[in-house]
Amino acid sequence: MSTTTLPPTEKTQPVSAPPGGLSDRSKAERRLGWRLAGPAFVVMLAVTAYPILQAVYESLFSYRLTDPANRTFTGLTNYWVILTDSLWWQSILVTVFITVVTVSVELVLGFALALVMAKALAAIRPVVRAAILIPYAVITVVSAFAWQFAFDINTGFVNSWFAWLPGVGTDTDWFGDKWTSLLVICLAEIWKTTPFISLLLLAGLAQVPEVLQEAAQVDGATWWQRMWRVTIPNMKAAIMVALLFRSLDAFRVFDSIFIMTGGANGTESVSFLAYRQTIARLEIGLGSAVSVLLFLLVVAIAIGFIKGFKVDLSQARGE
Amino acid sequence: MPNAAGHERPGRGSPTGPRSGRGSRRRAVAGAAALLVAAGTLAACGSGGGGATTLTWYINPDSGGQAEIASRCTDAANGAYTIQTAQLPRESSQQREQLIRRLAAQDSSIDIMSLDPPYIPEFAQAGFLAPIPDDVAGRVTQDVVQSAIDGSTWDGKLVAVPFWANTQLLWFKKSVAEKAGLDMEQPVTWEQLIKAAEAQKTNIAAQGIRAEALTVWVNALIESAGGHIIEKTADKPEDIQLGLTSPAAVQAATVMHDLAASGVGGPAFTTSGEDANVTDFEKGSASFMVNWPFVWGRALSAVKAGTLAQSVPDDYGWTLYPRVDADKPSAPPYGGINLGIGAFSTNVDGAFQAAECIVSEQNQAYYFTTNGNPAAKASVYDDPEVIKVFPQAPVIRESLEMAKPRPQTVYYSEVSGALQREYHPATAIDPEQTGKKANDLISSVLSGDQLL
């Protein structure tokens, strides 16, 4: 291979839709789209918008499920109670920590797995894909139990297998400390949802036109250059969609914490807090307020991604 | 006694908390149990009200004893009613969550409920329990141990039918106690135990996990020292008077602190519940343990299954719960199950008849010997059959007479949750400060000023 060729200095062609107004055809398409999606949209409104509005309404009351007679309107008091409570902020920090750690690790791992799935030999490709997807098919609660068993001081194998690592011994109690608990929770989450990210990224990889790759190769671009300058820019939309979905998902983390620590040692997430107020304490008002705040945070993340990173969800369709 | 560990859960459920091997499996089963309940409910709906003669009994998971009792009582009723059982989740806190949400929606399919005592005031106050007629109340409290009557009473009235009563004993390895020079015929204190464990390089298995089990322990220690978590209850949550800063509570916190600080709680002390405790005790890493009587059945069935040497249970000794204060008798934990009758049931009279049948002496003896759940009726403890299976029976009965329930309040869930937050991990307890912090937390949670 020639070493004198300069690397491509110009960005490869963007993959955006053609400019200009709507043609008749797109208008008809749009109408058809609404007609097809309409029923689903109505169902979505009924099963999501209604409960959300009800939660907003109930968050304005002091209302205990077992004592409906004493339900009183308290305005924004519940929100004030939550936002001035250190437990809320601690839960936010824990949730953000889990989200950032899991999503960033998953992105790297998921990308690698997507490459493996895309490039694997045709003969073993179906097997590889199925194998990679298995964790995603496992119910979160089950995966949480599996990881808990693995790290448990009595039933686990981790302590004896990894006793050679500094700080790990047969009497290491992983769930007895905040950071070791969070480590196991993050590991379980990463193991479970990396396949989701890699699946989305695989779809993105498939969108990168082979001609661009070939052109870059002819120009003498190394594997690394092709990755950074051809593959990744062309799948930016897919990456962003994967990141967005997974971040929203990660922000609602509940199952693993519920199973593994039960919120002990300051490992409560925001969802866990909502559970505890609404279901365990039966304080519907306070719990609804936590849920509404969680909802607003999730909306903020979504808007942040879409506006901040200019994610065009329609681009992910590969048009 | 298969699945011996399964049946004492109601006395000690843990709302959350990581679990040991057995506990975790149970929670996995909880999901299946929830499905079963759902299926049961659907079936009840499907039969068009089910007819007034079908009674549904919501049971906590056990080793099959309640289902057997249900079918025995169905036979005894001669067609007056049929009892079908529907299984609730494993954890008592989740049983409460499920029942209370259904009752809040006035579910008429709930005729009889197996209730964990600390939640009974909440159910009663909300009007979810059908009032017990005086004649029934007279009959079902006859010959019943005091703690079980206390646990079924709210606001001066009997609101649930005592079924079985649980209590914790101090279990010890006879060989180790002997080596340590402890006279187990005499009452022992926590202090003595900690010293003995340190000297013998062994552990004391206690429930340091952040779960209901921790509340059970805290309560038993405070009551043993002569104090109470709730000094005076009140209608308004903010008026409830707490006793966590009393000298007795400080003494109790000192025991927890000393146990944790000395390291005799074992490496996983802050994540150990009852099941992990038994495992440690069976393995031999712990030689003293406070736990429910299920440990005996569990050891025997492990021997039968060939996973435990006969010499292990042979070395088991048992006595009354340790004292906090050498001069004061201890107040062991009280647990068990009492039967509530659903206020929205369409056949309250039939449900009371069925409940009376369920708690009959024969059925309690059957439940004790086969499922290992100690009876609420004192006379059962004189049954030679019972004593044969449970040589601990006399001690259990004595313990039950001394046992003190956990704080009886409508807001039990909050009180327990807040206690768990402050008293966990036990390694971080400051005897002077922790009680004060817990006092403040419970007060502000109850007045709605703080999250939990």
**What is the 3 state secondary structure string of B37-71?**
HHHHHHHHHHCCCCCCCEEEEEECCCCCHHHHHHH
Is a pLDDT exceeding 50 seen at residue B66?
A: yes
Phi/psi for A244 (5° steps) reads -60, -55
Cβ-nearest to B104 among A65, A142, A290: A65
Inter-chain residue contact A153 with B19, CB threshold 8 Å: no
Determine contact, residues B68/B9, Cβ cutoff 8 Å: no
B274 and B260 co-located in one domain:
yes
> What are the residue boundaries of the structural domains of chain A, listed by start?
85-317
Under the banding of pLDDT at 50, 70 and 90, the label for residue B173 is: very high
B173 and B158 co-located in one domain:
no
- How confident is the model over A287-296, as pLDDT tens digits? 999 999 999 9
Stretch A170-181: mean pLDDT: 89
Question: In angstroms, rounded to a whole number, what is the distance separating the alpha carbons of residues B221 and B229?
Answer: 10
Amino acid at site B213: A
Does residue B452 lie within any of the structural domains? no
The pLDDT of residue A12 is: 52
- What residues pair up with B58 in beta bridges, in sequence order? B86, B113
Cβ-nearest to A145 among B16, B24, B452: B24
Distance from chain centroid for Cα B21: 20
Determine contact, residues B412/B151, Cβ cutoff 8 Å: no
Amino acid at site B243: G
Question: In angstroms, rounded to a whole number, what is the distance separating the alpha carbons of residues B117 and B339?
Answer: 9
Question: In angstroms, rounded to a whole number, what is the distance separating the alpha carbons of residues A207 and A225?
Answer: 18
Stretch A274-279: mean pLDDT: 92
Under the banding of pLDDT at 50, 70 and 90, the label for residue B12 is: very low
Run of H or E including A73: strand A72-73
Please tell me the least confidently modeled range out of A85-94, B333-342, B381-390.
B381-390
Under the banding of pLDDT at 50, 70 and 90, the label for residue B305 is: very high
Non-local (6+) Cβ contacts of A12 within 8 A are A212, A216, A229, A230, A233, A234
- Which residues on A lie below 8 Å from B425 (Cβ)? 176, 264-265
Is a pLDDT exceeding 90 seen at residue B27?
A: no
Does residue B440 lie within any of the structural domains? yes
Question: In angstroms, rounded to a whole number, what is the distance separating the alpha carbons of residues B148 and A286?
Answer: 34
Q: Could you tell me the two tokens for A308?
A: 């901040």
Is a pLDDT exceeding 80 seen at residue A280?
A: yes
Question: In angstroms, rounded to a whole number, what is the distance separating the alpha carbons of residues A184 and A257?
Answer: 10
Please tell me the least confidently modeled range out of B22-31, B117-126, B176-185, B384-393.
B22-31
Is a pLDDT exceeding 50 seen at residue B20?
A: no
Stretch A282-310: mean pLDDT: 91
Beta-carbon neighbour count of residue B382 at 10 Å? 11
Residue of A nearest to B448 (CA): A81
Sheet strands side by side (includes B161-167): B82-87, B54-59, B112-115, B334-341, B161-167
Cβ-nearest to A261 among B18, B20, B25: B18
Can the peptide bond before residue A233 be classed as cis, meaning omega within 30 degrees of 0? no
Residue of B nearest to A260 (CA): B18
Does residue B353 lie within any of the structural domains? yes
Judged by CB atoms within 8 Å, which residues 31-60 of B form the interface with A?
Answer: 31
Q: Helices (DSSP H) in B77-142: which residue ranges?
A: 92-104, 120-125, 134-140
Is a pLDDT exceeding 90 seen at residue A272?
A: yes
- Residue recorded with tokens 């030689």: B287
- Residue recorded with tokens 């505890």: A276
Stretch A264-269: mean pLDDT: 91
Inter-chain residue contact B24 with A149, CB threshold 8 Å: yes
CA angle A280, B97, A269 (to 5 degrees): 35
Long-range contacts (CB closer than 8 Å, 24 or more residues apart) made by B299-306:
B300/B1, B300/B4, B301/B1, B301/B2, B301/B4
* Coil vs helix vs strand at B241: strand
B322 and B195 co-located in one domain:
yes
CA atoms within 13 A on the CB side of A297: 23
Please tell me the least confidently modeled range out of A8-12, A249-253, B91-95, B366-370.
A8-12
Beta-carbon neighbour count of residue A34 at 10 Å? 10
User: What's the complex ipTM?
Assistant: 0.79
Residue of B nearest to A70 (CA): B236
Inter-chain residue contact B101 with A65, CB threshold 8 Å: yes
B398 is in which domain, residue-wise? 4-166+335-402
Is a pLDDT exceeding 70 seen at residue A111?
A: yes
Nearest Cα to B376, choosing from B329, B341, B339? B339
Determine contact, residues A237/A312, Cβ cutoff 8 Å: yes
- Which residues on A lie below 8 Å from B450 (Cβ)? 81, 85, 87
Mean pLDDT of chain A: 87
Residue of A nearest to B211 (CA): A262
The pLDDT of residue A122 is: 75
Pairing of strands B161-167, B112-115: unpaired
- Which residues on B lie below 8 Å from A282 (Cβ)? 100, 413
The pLDDT of residue B160 is: 96
Stretch B190-212: mean pLDDT: 93
Judged by CB atoms within 8 Å, which residues 123-162 of A form the interface with B?
Answer: 141-142, 145, 148-149, 152-155
Nearest Cα to B271, choosing from B8, B76, B70, B14? B14
Under the banding of pLDDT at 50, 70 and 90, the label for residue B46 is: very low
* Coil vs helix vs strand at A168: coil
Inter-chain residue contact B21 with A145, CB threshold 8 Å: no
- Which residues on B lie below 8 Å from A88 (Cβ)? 451
B297 and B415 co-located in one domain:
yes
Cα distance from A229 to chain B (closest Cα, Å)? 47
Is a pLDDT exceeding 80 seen at residue B50?
A: no
- How confident is the model over B238-273, as pLDDT tens digits? 888 999 999 999 999 999 999 999 999 988 899 899
Q: Could you tell me the two tokens for A1?
A: 């291979």
Inter-chain residue contact B18 with A152, CB threshold 8 Å: yes
The pLDDT of residue A14 is: 52
Distance from chain centroid for Cα B225: 20
Amino acid at site B284: G
Nearest Cα to A261, choosing from A109, A314, A253? A253
Is a pLDDT exceeding 80 seen at residue A66?
A: yes
Amino acid at site B285: S
Inter-chain residue contact B451 with A261, CB threshold 8 Å: no
Nearest Cα to B285, choosing from B277, B294, B293? B277
In this complex, is the C-beta atom of B378 within 8 Å of any C-beta atom belonging to chain A? no
Does residue B289 lie within any of the structural domains? yes
Residue of B nearest to A256 (CA): B18
Stretch A265-286: mean pLDDT: 92
- Residue recorded with tokens 């059957």: B366
Pairing of strands B153-154, B286-291: unpaired
The pLDDT of residue B118 is: 94
The pLDDT of residue A169 is: 85
B342 and B324 co-located in one domain:
no
Run of H or E including A33: helix A24-44
Count the domains in chain B: 2
Run of H or E including B433: helix B433-446
- How confident is the model over A252-266, as pLDDT tens digits? 999 999 999 988 888
Percentage of the residues of chain B whose pLDDT score is greater than 70: 88
Q: B318 vs A91, B169, B183, B255, CA distance in Å?
A: 43, 6, 12, 21
Under the banding of pLDDT at 50, 70 and 90, the label for residue A17 is: low
B227 and B272 co-located in one domain:
yes
Nearest Cα to A64, choosing from A272, A289, A271, A287? A287
B264 and B367 co-located in one domain:
no
Cα distance from B67 to chain A (closest Cα, Å)? 28
Residue of B nearest to A62 (CA): B448
Query: The domain that contains B219 carries what CATH number?
Result: 3.40.190.10
Cβ-nearest to B21 among A62, A154, A261: A154
pTM here?
0.82
**Residue scoring higher pLDDT (A315 or A187):** A187
Helix axes of B247-262 and B190-200: crossing angle, nearest 10 degrees: 10
DSSP per-residue string spanning A197-243: HHHHHHHHHHHS-HHHHHHHHHTT--HHHHIIIIIHHHTHHHHHHHH
Q: Compute the Cα dihedral for B69, B70, B71, B75 and give only its sign.
A: positive
- Which residues on A lie below 8 Å from B34 (Cβ)? none
Q: Could you tell me the two tokens for B340?
A: 């509530």
Give the CATH fold of the A85-317 domain: MetI-like fold (1.10.3720)
